[in-house]
Amino acid sequence: MTETLGMSGYGIYVWSTFALTATVLVYNEWAARRRFRSVYRDIEVRIKALENRS
């Protein structure tokens, strides 16, 4: 098991790259959802403003 995870001495590079990639993917998903909510709220505010003007 240790030999498999160690990958003949390259395990630290492989697993750190894997962890960094996973972190970037999770951050991208979080940032996209946050931006979506922000834009959606802005659209709601603009629609309400237009409705109130009429």
Confidence of residue 38 (pLDDT cuts 50, 70, 90): very high
Question: Which tokens go with 44?
Answer: 């709601």
State yes or no: pLDDT of 11 exceeds 80.
yes
DSSP 6-53: HGGGTHHHHHHHHHHHHHHHHHHHHHHHHHHHHHHHHHHHHHHHHHHH
Number of domains composing the chain: 1
What pLDDT sits at residue 6? Answer: 83
Average pLDDT on 18-28 reads: 98
Structural domain including 18 reads 2-53
